[in-house]
Amino acid sequence: MDSGAQPLARQIFEGLSPSYDRTLALVTLMQDKYWKSWLMIRAGLTRESRVLDIGCGTGVFEEKIDGGVQIIGIDITEEMVRLAQGKRIRSLTSLNLADGEHLPFKDGSFDCVLSCYVVKYCNPSQLASEAARVLRPGGVLVLYDFSAPRGVLAPFHALYVYGLLKIIGRAMRLLDPKEALTYQALPEVIRSRIWDARFGEVLESAGFRDIGSERLTGGVVTGFWAMKA
Ligand SMILES: C[S@@+](CC[C@H](N)C(=O)[O-])C[C@H]1O[C@@H](n2cnc3c(N)ncnc32)[C@H](O)[C@@H]1O
């Protein structure tokens, strides 16, 4: 998979930022907070952990864990970074405009790398190998993103992705054309960027072990965790 979705990521997120937090809650039918709790538990963060959040966006995760853990955030979209900076989130100690596929950090800099809703916009192999490079041996990667419908719950999941999101997108066009773009683009991105099917193998090739995955909320998102060998 190439990085062809990156310009799309910029197109979607530049300008969307002011309404992003509301959009996230709507698009995920209020499930995002549970998925972020899942990630937090999986990552086992402590006050001492050196943590990188790839594609931190407006800092929704960092707001959730405010106090204690110190996180470095990077994002490819200038407006998202600016909005996160404006929030002055205590746990977000540093914010950088950077690409998750070319991380501006030295080898072995982090105990934990996190990422929410970013891998589908990236080349998964490139993202995994950069995460492996900046993690210390024994460090962990935990991420999740939307996955395409499959399995027994696929009909319900497809109804949400290809039905509900599109209907909301059409309705939103009248109120907020920029926000409507997100709803309308997302089903196509989810359909065309099947990142999770072979992600376990991708992680293994990048030098991870103890790899696991879990489909959350009937597979609407899939989470992966892995340890750098
Ligand atoms: C749906 S938002 C998620 C933001 C945040 N992680 C959250 O959970 O709310 C996806 C974010 O990934 C960023 N992004 C997409 N591709 C990226 C890349 N290659 N490197 C860094 N950030 C990227 C976008 O700019 C956007 O802010």
Instruction: List, for residues 48-89, the tens digit of each pLDDT value.
Output: 999 999 999 999 999 998 668 999 999 999 989 999 999 999
Sequence letter at residue 182: T
Share of the chain above pLDDT 90, in %: 63
CA of 81 to the centre of ligand 1 (A): 10
Selected residue with higher pLDDT from 128 and 180: 128
**Whole-angstrom distance, CA of residue 195 vs CA of residue 120:** 6
Say how far residue 196 (Cα) sits from the centre of its chain: 13
pLDDT one-digit tens code per residue, 101-130: 999 999 999 999 999 999 999 999 999 999
Share of the chain above pLDDT 70, in %: 94
Q: Tell me if 130 CB under 6 Å of ligand 1.
A: no
- In ligand 1, the atom with minimum distance to the C-alpha of 115 is 6
Partners of residue 222 on adjacent β-strands: 145, 215
pLDDT at 22: 82
How many other CB atoms are found less than 10 A from the CB of residue 27? 21
Residue showing tokens 């969307």: 16
Q: Tell me if 75 CB under 6 Å of ligand 1.
A: yes
CA of 56 to the centre of ligand 1 (A): 6
CA of 93 to the centre of ligand 1 (A): 18
pLDDT at 152: 83
pLDDT at 66: 64
Phi, psi (deg, nearest 5) at residue 203: -65, -40
Averaged confidence pLDDT in the chain: 89
Selected residue with higher pLDDT from 180 and 4: 180
pLDDT one-digit tens code per residue, 131-145: 999 999 999 999 999
pTM for the complete prediction? Answer: 0.94
* Domains of the chain and any CATH numbers: 6-143+194-228 (3.40.50.150)
**Whole-angstrom distance, CA of residue 201 vs CA of residue 75:** 26
Q: Tell me if 24 CB under 6 Å of ligand 1.
A: yes
Residue 187 predicted with pLDDT over 90: no
Partners of residue 114 on adjacent β-strands: 53, 142
Confidence of residue 6 (pLDDT cuts 50, 70, 90): low
Q: In sequence order, what DSSP letters do the residues of 40-63 get, joined into one string? A: HHHHT--TT-EEEEET-TTTHHHH
